[in-house]
Structure formats: structure tokens, C-alpha cells
Amino acid sequence: MTEPLKVAIVGSGNWGSAIAKIVGHNVLKSDDFATEVKMYVYEEMVDGRKLTEIINTEHENIKYLKGHKLPENVVAVPDARDACREADILIFVLPHQFVRRICSNLQGHIKPTAVAISLIKGFDVHDKGLELISNVVRTMLSIDCAVLMGANIASEVAGENYCEATIGCKKPDFGKLLKKLFQTDYFRIVVVEDEITVELCGALKNVTATGAGFVDGLGYGDNTKAAVIRLGLMEMVKFCEEFYPGSKMSTFLESCGVADLVTTCYGGRNRRVAEAFVKTGKSIPELEKEMLNGQSLQGPPTAAEINIMLKAKNMEDRFPLFTAIHRICIRELEPQKFIDCLKNHPEHM
Ligand SMILES: NC(=O)c1ccc[n+]([C@@H]2O[C@H](COP(=O)([O-])OP(=O)(O)OC[C@H]3O[C@@H](n4cnc5c(N)ncnc54)[C@H](O)[C@@H]3O)[C@@H](O)[C@H]2O)c1
Ligand SMILES: O=P(O)(O)OC[C@H](O)CO
């Protein structure tokens, strides 16, 4: 008889809380998993009370996922080491900016046999260039790490509206176990082996979504946005071919690819803030603070991260959409010039 596997969630924001709802319910349905799920919560005071205390008494993350109850077997823990020490499966789901700090805190304090899955959309940057977030987890913690990405706006998933997601996992048995942990009747999972492309799609779509917000802010219609989505997808494919050769084209047709692009370019936070950026003239950090109540934007930082690499390799002109989006975010380029970038894209030359 093998021991049921203990699951810990590292992160408790908008998506972290939605996923806690799914995982909390699913562990109760299978003998493979222990019934308690510890969730690391970055402690903060909300209405004069600790967020962990609110979650553990009211079973709701009232700051990051208001209006959705979490199962009572999800226990909020303010110390990452305490949350993860005994876990067999670690689910990483926090803004990518914090991953290195968390992993460094966890080093030497997790089971050597643990395995991980990253739901984080973004890149890590270091002096040698870009790093996949799953690789940061793998190398810093010396454990295996799969990924889950998809067209998954957290509030809709928490509302149990039908959607799909893609798990990228090279090991079939691990993939099956993860599917059992995440799939529900409203959250349908496809497991593919092409885990690098799954993760790249999740990170890069946030940049394109920022561009979609710019054209909304400029008052262009759906045809223009469709062009941004298409050109963004072309650059995503090209980015994968150039820097991570070996992608399967079919992966772009999974939820992590085309579907996530569509949902983010219409309903996501990156789109919303980018639209306001054009309309108000305020800075991205200002708008993030005003509009997102502590949630974190991934598109503009990811555009900056990939630009470091494109610039270093003298390849900015081969990725004009990604480059223009970054330059607009840092006010090096007027938002109106974005349309010139679309008109003059190498696709049309
Ligand atoms: N929100 C969505 O709809 C959604 C859907 C799919 C994927 N994602 C991805 O999931 C990841 C996590 O997103 P999210 O929406 O759960 O987060 P979020 O945008 O809600 O971010 C806020 C979280 O960051 C935490 N935080 C703030 N400062 C911190 C620090 N110094 N150290 C550690 N944590 C800190 C906050 O406590 C909070 O839990 C991102 O990569 C995002 O792209 C989000
Ligand atoms: O709200 P966004 O723009 O961070 O996107 C959320 C999810 O990644 C959509 O799948």
C-alpha cells in the first residue's frame, strides 16, 4: 500500500486560488492523494486581519478571488517551507517575478523525491539570458517539473464555466497523475509531451495581449485585433523555432496556444491595462496599482525580458510586434505607431 501523495500549492493569487478550489475538491475524490492541501499564502493584512486567517476561517480568498469558496481541506500557510516540507507534488502558481526568491527559500526544505508543476506564465532573466520558469524550479530544487497552461481566466474557471487546459509533461505516468489532480467536468485537460512549447506559449501570449489592448485603446475594431493575434502567433512560433527548436506545430493548436491567445486578447488583465495605458497616458505600474488590487501584470515585464535577448542577438527587427509592444510600454514609441508596425510587418513585405 503506497502512502497517499501530499499536495502543496505555492501561491494564492487570482489563479492560485482558483486552482486551489479545483485541486482541493479533486484530492477528496481519489485515494492517490492525501486529503489536506497546504497553500502557501504571501501574508498580508486585509481589512485589519491576516489573509491566512481569513482563508482558514471563511474559506475564501477575499482579496484575490472574491465570491468563490475554497474547499475546507485547503489550508493557508504563511511560511513556504512549512507549506511544502512534506509535499510530494508542488504546484507553483505565483507571479513569475517571485519564483527565484521562493525557490531559494525552499532549497533543502522539500522532499528530494518531490515533483512539481508550474502554472506560471513568464520568463526568468539572468545574466546569461532567458530561462524557462520550469527550469528555474528544476535546477534550483533538483526536482522534475511539468507545466499547465491554457485559456483560463481565473474568475471564469472559479465560476465553473467550461474551459480547457494543456499539461506539458514528458513522462506519461506523471502526466496521467497530474491530469487526475487537475481535471474536472468543467476543466478539461489534454496532456502533451511538448512541455517546452506549452510553457513558451503561456509566457509569450501575454506580450501579444498587451498589443491587443493597445489597439483597443486606439479605438480600432475586431479586424485589427485579429491581425495582432495572427501576427503575435507568427512571432510566437518563430520565437520557439529560433530559440527552442523542436516544437510541434500541433501544440500551438492546443488550449495553451491559439485558445489562450484569443481569451487573453479579449478578456485578460494585460489587455485591459494596456487599453487604459493608451487612453489615460498613465504608466503601467500606476495602472497596475489602480486597476488590479494587488494582482500582477505579466505582459509588459515579459516583453522587456524577451527584448533583452532580442537586442543582445541583434534580432529586434525580426520580431517587430514584440519589439514595438515593449517600446510602447516603456514610452520609447508612441502607441499610435503600433499601427505602422502592423502595416510594415515583414509578413506583408
Ligand atoms: N489570473 C489569471 O486569470 C491567470 C490564469 C492563468 C495563469 N495565470 C498565471 O498564474 C501566475 C500567478 O498568477 P495569479 O493570478 O495567481 O497571481 P496574481 O496576479 O493574483 O498576483 C498576486 C499574488 O502575488 C502574491 N505576492 C505579492 N508579493 C509577493 C512576494 N513578494 N512574494 C510572493 N508572492 C507575492 C500576492 O500575495 C498574490 O497571491 C502568473 O504567471 C499568471 O500569468 C493567471
Ligand atoms: O489576465 P491575464 O492577461 O493575465 O491572462 C490570464 C490568463 O493567462 C488567461 O489564460
Mean pLDDT of 307-331: 96
Burial 319-343 (b: 16+ CB within 10 A, else e): bbbbbbbbbbbeeebebeebbebbe
Which residue, chain included where needed, has cell 493608451? 278
Q: What phi and psi values does residue 244 have, to the nearest 5 degrees?
A: -135, 65
Mutate which of 96, 270, 273, 293 for ligand 2? The one with the most ligand atoms within 8 Å of its CB, which is 270
Q: What is the pLDDT of residue 1?
A: 65
Q: Is 49 annotated as a binding residue?
A: no
Q: How far apart, in whole angstroms, are the C-alpha atoms of residue 101 and residue 134?
A: 14
| 185 pLDDT above the threshold of 80 | yes
Spatial contact of 44 and 27, defined as CB atoms under 8 Å apart: no
Task: Enter the CATH code of domain 197-348.
Answer: 1.10.1040.10
| 20 pLDDT above the threshold of 70 | yes
Tens of pLDDT, residue by residue over 87-120, are: 999 999 999 999 999 999 999 999 999 999 999 9
State if pTM tops 0.95.
yes
Q: How far apart, in whole angstroms, are the C-alpha atoms of residue 70 and residue 25?
A: 9
Nearest by Cα to 124 from 140, 111, 109, 110: 140
The bound ligand whose nearest atom lies closest to the alpha carbon of 203 is 1
Q: Domain extents for the chain?
A: 5-193, 197-348
Q: Is 263 in the pocket of ligand 2 (CB under 6 A)?
A: yes
Instruction: Out of 21, 38, 63, 205, pick the active-site residue.
Output: 205
DSSP letter at 256? I
The bound ligand whose nearest atom lies closest to the alpha carbon of 163 is 2
* 197-348 matches 5-193 in CATH topology: no
248 catalytic residue (yes or no): no
Q: What is the ipTM, given to two decimal places?
A: 0.99
Mean pLDDT of 14-30: 98
Centre of ligand 2 from the C-alpha of residue 152, in Å? 7
Q: Is 30 annotated as a binding residue?
A: no
Tens of pLDDT, residue by residue over 107-160, are: 999 999 999 999 999 999 987 789 999 999 999 999 999 999 999 999 999 999
Superfamily of domain 5-193 in the CATH hierarchy? NAD(P)-binding Rossmann-like Domain (3.40.50.720)
The bound ligand whose nearest atom lies closest to the alpha carbon of 76 is 1
The residue contributing the CA closest to ligand 1 atom 27 is 42
Q: Is 208 in the pocket of ligand 2 (CB under 6 A)?
A: no
